[in-house]
Amino acid sequence: MGNPFQDQLLKAGLVSKKQASKVKREKHLNRKQKKKDDSSVISAKVLKEQEAQARRNRELNKKRSAEKQLHENRAQIKQIIEKSRLERDDRGEAYHFVEENRINRIFVDGEMAEQLSCGKLAIVKAGDGYEVVPEKAARQIASRDRETVVVFHVK
């Protein structure tokens, strides 16, 4: 079954059989090319969607990684404070310090007060209260979170 219009042109002698087959082949190739173009457009869309999804996944992974690192740092800080905190003397002298525009105080003995002012000891936040820790522990805590160290007079 051929194309009726093409058959008429062949009978009338306006086109040769060679020309008719050439046109038929070109049509076939054009249709084939169009299908490839359509599939390439679809595949391009799919690729863009996959790239966008990968970008979102990378951002989510970075966010999760940052949250995990923050959580680990907090746990390490808590462990350092618990391990290295010094016992305070509640009947000793008051040591006053400023945190967030507020004057706070903790009670320590005279020797600890002098070491605090020299930078051999530091005051750090521990939950709702404050703890006194040695210089080495204060440096470790400050390397993880500077906000936790409240008073540390560096030499």
Cα 11 to Cα 8, 18, 75: the distances in Å are 5, 14, 92
Backbone angles phi, psi at 15, to 5 degrees: -135, 155
User: Does 107 lie in the same domain as 36?
Assistant: no
- CA angle, 110 as apex, 107 and 112 as ends, to 5°? 75
User: Does 69 lie in the same domain as 6?
Assistant: yes
Q: What residues in the chain have per-residue pLDDT under 50?
A: 1
Closest CA to 107 of 96, 99, 122: 96
User: Does 94 lie in the same domain as 77?
Assistant: no
Q: Rounded CA gap, 125 and 115, in Å?
A: 18
For 45-72, write each residue's pLDDT tens digit: 888 899 999 999 999 999 999 999 999 9
Last residue of a domain, one of 59, 84, 109: 84
What does pTM read for this prediction? 0.60
